[in-house]
Amino acid sequence: MATRVLLVEDDERVRQALGLALADEGYDVVETATGEEALELVDPDLDIVLLDLMLPGIDGIEVCSTLRSRGDLPIIIATARSDTADVIAGLEAGADDYVTKPLVAGELAARIRALLRRRRPTSGGPSEEDQAGRWHLGDLTIDPGREAVTRGETPLHLTRTEFRLLLELASAGGNVVTREQLLQRVWGYDYFGDTRLLDVHVRRLRRKIEPDPDDPELVLTVRGSGYRAGP
């Protein structure tokens, strides 16, 4: 079955053009102009949401936050090139990725493919992987097969992107993974030095897995380079 994309864009001309372009790329596109209708259209058969932040009524930030509270459906937000604050707000609300306007259909299709692609990282620290193929980081157990993370018997609810980010770091065996490597491996795309995407996701991940996100023990920053799993 074709990948189903929910396209939420209030500008009719932009919406129609993107819808046709994505359909040419082989996607099954469901279109809407409002956040209210977008929330009603989400169903289990949907694969990804492309969400404009500037919407009438319920804006894109609120729609993104609501969708994220419901589950881990992949979300790409669209924003103006200069709106750094909007990009960060959208990522903090739970978006997995962002694109800037004007949108290029080929680039957008590449982002969608990259976000939906499953990639298990290459093993870098075999001593941290048990015989069942699970990874252990501090008191966390990371199960790639089930895409699940638990602390003891308690499941931690991560998005797909947060899970991939954690798995990349855990499987590196304590070695530093550069920002560029994480962007390429987790998102599968070249972001030309834009680290907002990574930094926001690291903050979100720390809030979910660290006992004290302000004093992290599991995801450590290596200044001027990237991140590594600790301790």
Sheet of strand 97-101, all strands in order from the earlier edge strand to the far edge: 28-32, 4-8, 48-52, 75-80, 97-101
What tens digit of pLDDT does each residue of 130-164 get?
A: 556 889 999 999 999 888 999 988 999 999 899 99
What would the pLDDT profile of 189-219 be if each residue is shown by its tens digit? 666 567 788 999 999 999 999 999 999 999 9
Both tokens of residue 80? 């103006």
Longest C-alpha distance within the chain, in Å?
A: 55
The confidence score (pLDDT) of residue 42 equals 94
Q: What is the pTM of this model?
A: 0.82
pLDDT in tens, 110-136: 888 888 874 444 444 433 555 568 899
169-188: pLDDT as tens digits: 999 989 999 999 999 888 87
All residues at 6 or more sequence positions from 219 whose CB lies less than 8 Å from its CB, including other chains? 166, 169, 202, 205, 206, 209, 210, 227, 229, 230
The tokens 């947060």 sit on which residue? 162
Q: How confident is the model at residue 74 (pLDDT cuts 50, 70, 90)?
A: very high
Provide the pLDDT for residue 106.
Answer: 85
Amino acid 125: pLDDT? 43
- Starting at the edge strand that comes first in sequence, how are the strands of the sheet with 226-229 ordered? 177-178, 226-229, 219-222
